[in-house]
Chains A and B, each alone.
Chain A
Amino acid sequence: MDEDERDVVLGQMGRLAHDAFSDSVKPGASAAGKRQLRVSLATMKPARRRARWVAVALAALVTFVAVVVYRVVPGRLDYAVEGPAPSTGGYLQGTARGAAVAHFTDGTEVRVGAGARARIVDVDRHGARIALEQGRAHLRVVHLPEAHWSVEAGPFSITVTGTEFDADWSAEGGVLVVEMRTGAVIVRGPLAGDGIGVHGGQRLVASVPDSRLHIEPLATTQATADDATGATARGATAQTGTAPSGNAPATTPRTPDDEHGATANDEHGATANDDNGVDTTNERAAAAEPQSAARARASRNDHGASGDPTHRARSGAKERTGDAKGRASDAKQAVRDDVKDGTGDAERAAAPPSWAKRVAGGDFRGVIADAEGRGLSTTLAEAPLGDLVALADAARYTGSSSMARDALLSQRKRYPTSADAKAAAFLLGRIAEDKGSTGEAVDWYERYLAEAPKGAFAAEALGREMLATRRARGAAAAADVARRYLDRFPGGPYADRARALAAGP
C-alpha cells in the first residue's frame, strides 16, 4: 500500500468511528451539564477567593515578620569618634590634647588615652574587634545578649562580653596590662594558654619577653598603675609590689636582649604567695574560662604551682599540644597521690597541702626542706610528677638552679611523654642560659622545639635560641635561626631582632 492508500484507509476508519458516535446529545442533557458546570464553578470560586485571601494574609504575615525582624534584630553597630585628632578608617589616636573616644550605637565606649593608638578593625551587629597598637585604652562595654567584643594587643586577645576595663599594651616592651573594673574578660595569648579569666577588681600583667604572667588584686596597685605612664613600668611596679616577702628579691623587668638578667629569682611569679593573689582568684576566674583552661587549672591544683606564670603557660602548652598521655598521666598521678597519701575526698580536707599548693602559696623553702627531709635523691626517684614540678618551681624561685635542674631532669627521665617533661626542656634551657652555658641552652631549646613545635614556649624558645646562637657562634650563624623565627613568628616579640640578624651586618 502506498501513502495515499494508507490515508484512505485511515480516513475510512476515522469516519467509521465518527459515525459510530454521533454528536447528538439527549434532550436536556446539555442543559443539565451546563447547570452542573455552574454549580461546580460556584463551589470552586470561593476556593479561588480563599486562595487569594490566603495569599494576601501570607504576604501580610511575611511583611509583619520582616518588620519585626528588622526592628528586633539589631543591625550592624555604628560608631562615632570624638577626639583631638581626625579619625579615619576607625583609627583612634590619643594626643596630649586629649583622648580619642569611639561612641558605639549600643552605648559601648572605647577611650584611647594620650599617646595611645588603636584601630577599630571590624564591627558587626554584636560588637567590634579592636586592635590596640600601643598604649592604654579604656573600654566600657554595654552588656547585651550575644555581645561580643574583643581587643587584640600584640599576641594577646581579650574577649569581652560586658565589662569595664583598661587595656594597656606596650608594643616595645611586649607587656600587656589588663585592669578590670567590672565584669570579666578572657585573655588569650602566648602566656595565657587557652584563656585566662580576669574578673572585676583584678589586674593581669603579661610580659612576653619575661615569659611572665600574673594576676593580682587591682586595689593593691591601683594608684601605681594609674600613675604609670607606660605598661612596662606598670608591669614592673606590680611585680615588685606583690613580690613574696623574704622569698625572692624584687623583680627587674627584662627584655629579650637582657640576656644576663635571667635568674631564677625573677621567675617567682610575684603573686604566688599573695593571700589575695592568683590561687584564690583563679577559682573565680575558672568559671569564665574555657573548659580546657579550667582543666589545665584543675591539673595544676594537683601538681603545679598555680601562681607561677610559667607553670600556667606550661599547662596551657599541655592543652595546646594535646598531650593526652601527659594529661592521663597527670590524672593517674593525682589518683596515685591520693592512694599513696591515704587521702580520699573525705580525708582531703585534713591532709596537708600538696607541694603544688604550697608553692602557689609561696612556701618555696618549705617544699625544698621537705624534699631534703625525705632525701633529695629519693624524692627525685620516687616523687610523683606533680611534686617534681612543684619542687623544680620552688628551686627556681629560690635560685637553687642545681636542684631545679635535677627536678626537671627527673621529670624528663621518669615521665618522658608528659607535657611537663617537654616544658622542662625549655626551662632547662633557661637554666643553662642563666649559667652561661649557651651551647647547652641552644640544645635544650632545640629539643623543646622538636618535642613541642607548637608549644606555649615555642616562640620564646626559638627567640632565645637565636640570641644564644648569636652569642655562641656569631651573627652569621644566628641569621639562620632568625629566618626560622621570622617564618614562624613574624609578629613575635623577637621579630625586630630577628629581622636585623636576618638582614646581616
Chain B
Amino acid sequence: MRQPSEPRLFVVPTPQAPEDDAALVRAAIEGDPAAPGLIWERYARLVRGVLRRSLGEDEVDDHVQEVFLRFFRQVDGLRKPGSLRCFLIGIAMRVAGSELRRRRVRRFMRLAPSEELESGPASQRDDDAREAVRRLYAILDRVDSRTRLLFVLRYVEALELTEIAESLEVSLATTKRHLARAGDRVFSLAGRDELLLAYLAGTVNVKRGAG
C-alpha cells in the first residue's frame, strides 16, 4: 500500500505543435486552443495573397478573417485532414466569389462606382506597370467569377492542376476543361488590348488611360 507521502507521478498533456497539416486539423477538431494560431501562422499569408490577387486590397483583412472563421466552422467535416491547404484555398475562392458577386450587384445597382484597384503595385512599379495591372483587372472584371478565380489560381498563384481540382472539389478533367475555357476567355479579351500585350512583350510602355 502506498504511503500518503509517497510522491506521485502525473503526466500532464500539453498541446504540441503538430508537424503536418493532418495533425493541425485533428488538433483543431479536438479543440486544441493552440491550433487556430498555428493554422493562421501557416496559411494566413497564402490566403491573404490569393484574396488580394483575386479581389484587390479593399477589405482583404476582413475576407481573410472570414476564410478562417469558415474553416473552423467546417473543420469537423473535413474529409481529408491532410488537404488543409487546398481546403483553405477552396474556402478563399468561395469567399472571393461571394465578394465578386456582391460587388457586381452593387455595381449593377449603382451603389458603388466601378471597382478600381486602390493600391496597385506594391513596390517599384512605374506608371506603365500600374496601368498594365489596371488593364488586366479590367479584363478580369469583365469575366465571370469562376473564370476570374480559375485564372488567379492557375496563372497568378501558379497552383498545380491537382491542387486547383482539390480546392474546388471537382475532378481533374473538369478542372482542365474549365481552365481551358477560362484561359481562352481571358486571352481573348487580352488580345483586344494591344497596349497590354505590348507591355507584356516589353516592346512598348502602356500609356495611362489608353485602351
Q: Contact residues of A with B, CB < 8 Å?
A: 1, 6-7, 9-25, 29-30, 33-34, 36-38, 40-41, 44
Does B157 count as interface, using CB distance less than 8 angstroms?
yes
CA distance A393 to B133 in the complex (A): 110
CA distance A29 to B61 in the complex (A): 9
Task: Report B131 CB to chain A, min CB distance, Å.
Answer: 11
Q: Is the CB of B44 within 8 A of A21?
A: no
Q: Is the CB of B122 within 8 A of A33?
A: no
- A33-B40 CB under 8 A given contacts A18-B157, A19-B121: yes
Q: Is the CB of B45 within 8 A of A30?
A: yes
Report B-chain residues with C-beta under 8 Å of the C-beta of A9. 187, 190, 197, 200
Report B-chain residues with C-beta under 8 Å of the C-beta of A37. 36, 40, 65, 68-69
CA distance A17 to B119 in the complex (A): 12
Task: Report A215 CB to chain B, min CB distance, Å.
Answer: 74
Q: Is the CB of A13 within 8 A of B190?
A: yes
Q: Is the CB of B73 within 8 A of A13?
A: no
Q: Is the CB of B44 within 8 A of A33?
A: yes
CA distance A12 to B40 in the complex (A): 30
- Number of inter-chain CB pairs below 8 Å: 105
Q: Is the CB of B155 within 8 A of A41?
A: no
- A34-B40 CB under 8 A given contacts A10-B187, A17-B53: yes
CA distance A13 to B40 in the complex (A): 29
Report B-chain residues with C-beta under 8 Å of the C-beta of A14. 151-152, 154-156, 158
Q: Is the CB of A10 within 8 A of B183?
A: yes
Question: In B175-211, which residues have CB < 8 Å from any A CB?
Answer: 183-184, 186-187, 190-191, 196-197, 200
Q: Is the CB of A13 within 8 A of B200?
A: yes
CA distance A33 to B92 in the complex (A): 16
- A36-B65 CB under 8 A given contacts A13-B136, A16-B136: yes
Report A-chain residues with C-beta under 8 Å of the C-beta of B64. 33
12 A-B pairs within 8 Å (CB atoms) are namely A6-B184, A10-B190, A12-B200, A14-B156, A18-B156, A20-B53, A20-B122, A34-B36, A34-B41, A37-B65, A37-B69, A44-B69
- Closest residue of chain A to B72 (Cβ to Cβ) is A41
Rank and list the top 7 A-B pairs by shortest CB-CB distance, nearest first. Answer: A14-B155, A12-B200, A21-B52, A14-B156, A20-B133, A20-B121, A23-B49
Q: Is the CB of A17 within 8 A of B37?
A: no
Q: Contact residues of B with A, CB < 8 Å?
A: 36-37, 40-41, 44-46, 48-49, 52-53, 57, 61, 64-65, 68-69, 72-73, 117, 119-123, 125, 129, 132-133, 136-137, 151-152, 154-158, 183-184, 186-187, 190-191, 196-197, 200
Instruction: Choose among A11, A16, A23 the residue that contacts B48 (Cβ–Cβ < 8 A).
Output: A23
Q: Is the CB of A20 within 8 A of B48?
A: no
Report B-chain residues with C-beta under 8 Å of the C-beta of A24. 122
Instruction: Choose among B44, B123, B133, B152 the residue that contacts A16 (Cβ–Cβ < 8 A).
Output: B133
Task: Report B27 CB to chain A, min CB distance, Å.
Answer: 13
Q: Is the CB of A22 within 8 A of B65?
A: no
Q: Which of A1, A6, A14, A38 has the most CB of B within 10 A?
A: A14
- Closest residue of chain B to A23 (Cβ to Cβ) is B49
Q: Is the CB of B36 within 8 A of A25?
A: no
Q: Is the CB of A21 within 8 A of B151?
A: no
Report B-chain residues with C-beta under 8 Å of the C-beta of A17. 53, 133, 136-137, 152, 155-156
- A1-B191 CB under 8 A given contacts A11-B155, A44-B73: yes
Q: Is the CB of A18 within 8 A of B41?
A: no
Report B-chain residues with C-beta under 8 Å of the C-beta of A7. 183
CA distance A11 to B158 in the complex (A): 9
- A22-B122 CB under 8 A given contacts A33-B65, A37-B36: yes
Task: Report A280 CB to chain B, min CB distance, Å.
Answer: 78
Instruction: Choose among A11, A23, A29, A41 the residue that contacts B36 (Cβ–Cβ < 8 A).
Output: A41
Task: Report A423 CB to chain B, min CB distance, Å.
Answer: 77
CA distance A201 to B141 in the complex (A): 93
CA distance A33 to B125 in the complex (A): 27
- A25-B48 CB under 8 A given contacts A14-B155, A17-B133, A44-B72: yes
CA distance A197 to B36 in the complex (A): 79
Task: Report A18 CB to chain B, min CB distance, Å.
Answer: 5
Report A-chain residues with C-beta under 8 Å of the C-beta of B196. 13
Q: Is the CB of A34 within 8 A of B44?
A: yes
Report B-chain residues with C-beta under 8 Å of the C-beta of A22. 122-123
Report B-chain residues with C-beta under 8 Å of the C-beta of A10. 151, 155, 183, 186-187, 190
Report A-chain residues with C-beta under 8 Å of the C-beta of B37. 34, 38
Q: Is the CB of B152 within 8 A of A33?
A: no
Q: A18-B156, A30-B45, A38-B36 are in contact. List 6 more A-B contacts (CB 8 A).
A: A13-B136, A13-B151, A14-B155, A16-B200, A22-B123, A30-B41
Task: Report A7 CB to chain B, min CB distance, Å.
Answer: 7
- Closest residue of chain B to A36 (Cβ to Cβ) is B65
Q: Which of B69, B155, B187 has the most CB of A within 10 A?
A: B155
CA distance A22 to B156 in the complex (A): 11
CA distance A170 to B187 in the complex (A): 98
